Amino acid sequence: MNHLSSETFKENARAALADVQLRGALKNATSLFGERRKEAAASLPNWEELRTQARAIKDEVLSDLDRYLKEFVRNAESRGAVVHRARDAAEANSIICGLAKERNARVIVKSKSMTTEETHLNDALEAAGMQVVETDLGEYIIQLANEPPSHIIAPAIHKTRQQVSELFATELGMPPTDDIAQMTSTARATLRDRFAAADVGISGVNFAIAETGTLVIVENEGNIRLTTSLPRMHIAMMGIEKVIPRFADLDVFLKLLPRSGTGQRLTTYQSFITGTKRDAADEGPDELHIVLLDNGRSRMLAHPVTRQSLACIRCGACLNACPVYQQVGGHAYGSVYPGPIGAVITPQLMGIEKAAQLPFASSLCGACRDVCPVKIDIPQLLLHLRAEISPRKGSTAERLAFKVWAKVMTSPSLYKLSSIAGRILQHVMPISRAWTSGRDLRPIESKSFHDLWSND
């Protein structure tokens, strides 16, 4: 089920619901992440205060993003980095392909980066004749399977151990096994060889610190450390919203991000990259290029309601908490950003007409808002997008139904009439066949409360 479209969410979801293996994998993973997050958050007495602080820092940046970006660029460049600005995905990919070609790169290693997934960078590099190897284990698995990620931090969350074993048997020729350690060490051996051969390393960015020009990237496997230090050229791609003002702000974000994502107190590695090496004899890449990606973010920034979408730190907690994501998984959304935050940002990045179903793929339960470490009011954003979509793109029947509904609900006589009509019609027409296929519908009362009150 690879490369599905957001436009067919309903069909994608139906197929996902019928996939027993997928639902088993999702249930295990989302509940495990959810429980761990809960424990990790509870272990910090000032959790709520940290969330408030994190949001305040993000709001500070977003209210004056240009200034913070300029400060970041100035400081990064003064330490030897070269900063590029890309208006959209095509521009970002072409900048990176150009840099790789200048290096005559044949092999490129990549660490996990949602932003490069967003621009479909791998396709562009491969089309330019280069071999691209994903080095995060989850990303490596889905690259071998030729699938997009299905979760922001756990890209292969939809795969069972059995499926990975079968994949490794086919793609890497290893004997099928149940032993995760054995599978990991096979992947590691293959990847080590690619690291050694790589001409360019491409990474994402978790935080970009304005006052020092430092890139901060967190991970557990050590592959980011290798990607950003072994090849002669390191290219980092980041959304323009990743900048934070001060080094000290990390105190807040490094407490929130791992706890919200995996339930860890700290990830195994935190890489801090400030410019290129100072001395030619030092280790590390000769060149550091930073690509700042807009790709619709300025549009989100411009609107006072949608602006908060850019506060997201891509922890994935809202996915794990979402009852819809828990059932259908990430691929159904047809976007590299699935789940509640995906339903919010995908229509804003890809255009509303391409993802008009996604803001409706939510029961508005609010569990996402509760777990968000930066307090994004996702239900409010979903409602905002629904209001953009429905009056213009809702079906004629639906738009008419709500016009009639408003008339009925503002007229006591029409309300009474429709109540009587409903009681009669329920016996001759199916109210909603889809609804009643799984549940019994409670019959309409023979006397409404309005009727009873007059008899009171």
How far are the Cα atoms of 9, 15, 181, 430, 438 from residue 434, in angstroms, in the given order?
17, 16, 45, 9, 8
Strand partners, 201: 109, 234
**Count of residues in contact with another protein, rule CB under 8 A:** 60
Return the closest-CA partner of residue 237 out of 195, 289, 178. 289
Query: Is residue 434 a contact point for another protein (CB under 8 A)?
Result: yes
Query: Which CB atom, from 247 or from 360, has the smaller least distance to another protein?
Result: 360
Sequence-ordered alpha helix ranges (H) in 106-160: 114-118, 121-127, 137-144
Which amino acid belongs to residue 217? Answer: I
Return the closest-CA partner of residue 369 out of 317, 406, 404, 405. 317
Query: Which CB atom, from 83 or from 408, has the smaller least distance to another protein?
Result: 408
Write the DSSP symbol of residue 357: T
Query: Is residue 454 a contact point for another protein (CB under 8 A)?
Result: yes
How far are the Cα atoms of 148, 177, 262 from residue 32, in angstroms, in the given order?
22, 23, 9
Query: Which CB atom, from 349 or from 389, has the smaller least distance to another protein?
Result: 389
Output the smallest distance, CB 302 to another protein, in A.
Answer: 18
Compute the CA torsion angle 139, 142, 148, 154 (nearest 10 deg). -50
SS3 assignment, position 187: helix
Task: Please state, in angstroms and rounded to a whole number, the distance separating the CA atoms of residues 43 and 325.
Answer: 26
Is the Cβ–Cβ distance between 276 and 80 less than 8 Å? yes
Output the smallest distance, CB 197 to another protein, in A.
Answer: 45
User: What are the residues whose beta carbons fall under 8 Å from the beta carbon of 313, sequence distance 6 or more?
Assistant: 54, 206, 253, 256, 257, 260, 373, 374
Query: Which CB atom, from 176 or from 351, has the smaller least distance to another protein?
Result: 351
Query: Is residue 352 a contact point for another protein (CB under 8 A)?
Result: no
Query: Which CB atom, from 351 or from 422, has the smaller least distance to another protein?
Result: 422
Query: Which CB atom, from 341 or from 378, has the smaller least distance to another protein?
Result: 378
Instruction: Identify the residue among 98, 351, 422, 430 touching another protein (CB under 8 A).
Output: 422
Instruction: Identify the residue among 90, 189, 387, 400 touching another protein (CB under 8 A).
Output: 387
Is the Cβ–Cβ distance between 372 and 378 less than 8 Å? yes
Residues for the chain: how many in total?
456
Instruction: Identify the residue among 83, 169, 352, 383 touching another protein (CB under 8 A).
Output: 383
Return the closest-CA partner of residue 316 out of 338, 287, 283. 338
Instruction: Identify the residue among 21, 370, 421, 425 touching another protein (CB under 8 A).
Output: 370
Query: Which CB atom, from 266 or from 400, has the smaller least distance to another protein?
Result: 400
Query: Which CB atom, from 96 or from 367, has the smaller least distance to another protein?
Result: 367
Query: Is residue 447 a contact point for another protein (CB under 8 A)?
Result: yes
Query: Is residue 429 a contact point for another protein (CB under 8 A)?
Result: no
User: What are the residues whose beta carbons fall under 8 Å from the beta carbon of 311, sequence distance 6 or more?
Assistant: 55, 58, 59, 62, 241, 374, 375, 376
Query: Which CB atom, from 87 or from 393, has the smaller least distance to another protein?
Result: 393
Instruction: Identify the residue among 337, 348, 405, 430 touching another protein (CB under 8 A).
Output: 405
Query: Is residue 1 a contact point for another protein (CB under 8 A)?
Result: no
Pairing, β 207-209 against β 214-219: antiparallel
**Helix 20-42 vs helix 9-17: crossing angle, to nearest 10:** 90
Query: Is residue 284 a contact point for another protein (CB under 8 A)?
Result: no
Q: Mask: binding to another protein, 306-345, rule CB under 8 A, as x and -? A: -----------------xx-xxx-----------------
Query: Is residue 101 a contact point for another protein (CB under 8 A)?
Result: no
Q: Which stretch binds another protein (CB under 8 A): 56-64, 161-169, 347-355, 435-443?
A: 435-443
Between the two ends of the chain, the Cα-to-Cα distance in Å is 59
Q: Which stretch binds another protein (CB under 8 A): 40-48, 169-177, 245-253, 402-410?
A: 402-410
Query: Is residue 364 a contact point for another protein (CB under 8 A)?
Result: yes
Q: Which stretch binds another protein (CB under 8 A): 52-60, 218-226, 345-353, 433-441?
A: 433-441
Is the Cβ–Cβ distance between 237 and 121 less than 8 Å? yes
Instruction: Identify the residue among 14, 67, 192, 265 touching another protein (CB under 8 A).
Output: 14
Task: Please state, in angstroms and rounded to a whole number, the distance separating the CA atoms of residues 191 and 236.
Answer: 20
Residue 90 burial (CB count, 10 A):
13
Output the smallest distance, CB 406 to another protein, in A.
Answer: 4
Q: Binding to another protein (CB under 8 A): which residues in 29-68? A: none
Instruction: Identify the residue among 248, 403, 421, 424 touching another protein (CB under 8 A).
Output: 403
How far are the Cα atoms of 167, 446, 456 from residue 452, in angstroms, in the given order?
65, 10, 6
**Residues within the interface to another protein (CB under 8 A):** 10, 13-14, 17, 323-324, 326-328, 360-367, 369-370, 380, 383, 385-391, 394, 398-399, 402-403, 405-406, 408-410, 412, 415, 419, 422, 432, 434-435, 437-442, 444-445, 447-450, 452-454
